[in-house]
Amino acid sequence: MDKRWIPARAGDALADIDTPALIVDLDRFDANIERLMQSVAGCNVRVRPHAKSHKCVEIARRQVAAGAIGVCVQKTSEAEPFLAGGIADVLVTNEVVGARKLANLAALAARFPAARVGVCVDDASVVELLGAACDRAAARVDVYIELDVGHDRAGVADPGAAVALGRAVAAQPSLNLRGLQAYFGSAQHRRGVDERRRAIESAAALARATRDALAAAGLPCDTVTGAGTGTFLLEAASGVYTEIQPGSYVLMDVDYAKNEQDPLWPRFDQSLFILATVMSRRHDASGDRATLDAGLKTFSTDSGPAQPAFAGWTVRGVSDEHTVLDRIGDGPALALGDKVRLVPGHIDPTVNLHEWIVAVRGGRVEAVWPVDARGAVY
């Protein structure tokens, strides 16, 4: 949409922010980044935060300034703004399939020769086409064999298949075999501490056997990368993973807050909120209802609707541009025009709905960050 519709300017008061808007509490945001880095300071792992959750170059720069080696993304088009914004190591933690998509990836790598651009593979036919695309573009790409460690979405199933694929990668002069992508996505959201622990023990065992099989075949495997906010300390302590990919820790959401807390974990506070305005009120015999100007086009509901960041009100319904709240207790009085905060159910698809993140500190807007990779699905 027209870039003139920007919700705030640096220096604005909170009350001046147009709604619905994403706002990030910078004190909490800074603390989340710091706590993540401190929590793995004693482990021999690099930190490569996943940028699919924030899609924002400014956030990536702050993660790198705190010690991250680069970022992960999910799509070639999503990689572009981060490379253009100076992030020197960008890994597409996903398969890229099809001639046009492979040519786009090779062209992107050729455009940023000083940066590292990585991608995952799980099929030998794609390796050959990727090598040819990189040859034509005079590009070099880092390649990671995706290993299916339990997520059951993509990846080869066992060490033997990984070795066969590794040989195919090694045969391509423009491809640089780096190692294994071993991400157990669904384990991040298993509620119990023990469930998460068992899942990552099994993932690490398969990753170890596969790494050893690659080594026995004389193939390089410098990197075993994976992990998310729900499990990263387990991978970091495994002795197998050399790199972790947490994404949600910096912003957080309702879904992650449902996990049983592991006492070993650092505390990550909710830093991202949706700011919405009360645009209709009713208070009569039928109840006490406040309707907000934020709905399905402002937050995703795949992990449930956004939730009020205050007590005493509950979500009755969500439609395209509205959330209807019912008063259920001693919540704050809400008046027409009041601005309230909601906590997103799932940040990744929620952030993707927005052009801007309004960064606030001490009741003032400190900056307005573009969501550079919004809509980057190609």
Map the footprint of a second copy across residues 245-304, applying CB under 8 A.
Answer: 277-282, 284, 286, 289, 291, 293-294, 296-298, 300-302
- Asked if residue 48 lies in contact with residue 361, where contact means CB atoms within 8 angstroms, the answer is no
Asked if 311 interacts with a second copy (CB under 8 A), we say: no
Residue number, 63 or 104, with CB nearest to a second copy:
104
- Asked if 319 touches a second copy (CB under 8 A), the answer is yes
Q: Which residues are registered as beta bridge partners of 326?
A: 289, 314
When asked if residue 38 is in the footprint of a second copy (CB under 8 A), the reply is no
Contact mark string toward a second copy, 61..90, x via CB under 8 A: -------------xx-x--xx---------
Q: Which member of 35, 136, 208, 322 binds a second copy (CB under 8 A)?
A: 322
Residue of 256, 254, 260, 340 lying closest to 293 (CA atoms): 340
Residue owning tokens 């991202």: 272
Binding segment toward a second copy, per CB under 8 A, in 172-180, 233-241, 258-266, 350-358: 350-358
Handedness of CA 59, 305, 1, 83 (dihedral sign): positive
User: Is the distance from CB of 35 to CB of 266 less than 8 angstroms?
Assistant: yes
Whole-angstrom Cα Rg for the chain? 22
Least separation, in Å, of the C-beta of 81 and a second copy?
8
List the interface residues with a second copy, window 142-181 (CB under 8 A): 152-155, 157
Plot region of 271 (φ>0 → left; ψ -120 to 50 → alpha; else → beta): alpha
Residue with tokens 């995706």: 146
Of 210-218, 233-241, 249-257, 351-359, the window that binds a second copy (rule: CB under 8 A) is 351-359
- Cβ-based nearer residue to a second copy, 153 or 258: 153
Residues 189-228 that bind a second copy (CB under 8 A): none
Q: Which of 89, 122, 142, 255 binds a second copy (CB under 8 A)?
A: 122
Nearer to a second copy, 209 or 296 (CB): 296
Alpha carbon distance 269, 51 (integer Å): 18
What single-letter amino acid sits at 225? T
Taking the complex as a whole, the smallest distance from the CB of residue 52 to a second copy amounts, in Å, to 6
Cis omega (within 30 of 0) for bond into 263: no
CB of 352 to a second copy, least distance (A): 5
> Where does this chain touch a second copy (CB under 8 A) — which range of 31-39, 61-69, 111-119, 311-319?
311-319
Closer to a second copy by Cβ: residue 44 or 125: 125
Q: Which of 67, 185, 220, 331 binds a second copy (CB under 8 A)?
A: 185
CA distances from 43 to 21, 30, 38, 237, 293 (A): 38, 21, 10, 7, 45
- Distance (Å, whole) CA 74 – CA 82: 12
Kindly list the distances between the CA atom of residue 202 and the CA atoms of 50, 79, 93, 150, 261, in Å, as whole numbers in the listed order: 22, 30, 20, 8, 21
CB 297 to a second copy: min, Å: 5
Q: Return the ∠ at Cα 118 (arms to 116 and 119), rounded to 5°.
A: 165
**Closer of 43 and 274 to a second copy (Cβ):** 274
Q: Could you tell me whether strands 307-308 and 339-343 are parallel, antiparallel, or unpaired per DSSP bridges?
A: antiparallel
330 contributes a contact to a second copy by CB under 8 A: no
Candidate ranges 13-21, 63-71, 250-258, 361-369; the one touching a second copy (CB under 8 A): 13-21
Within 10 angstroms of residue 332's Cβ, the number of other Cβ atoms is 13
**Residue 98 in the binding site for a second copy (CB under 8 A):** yes
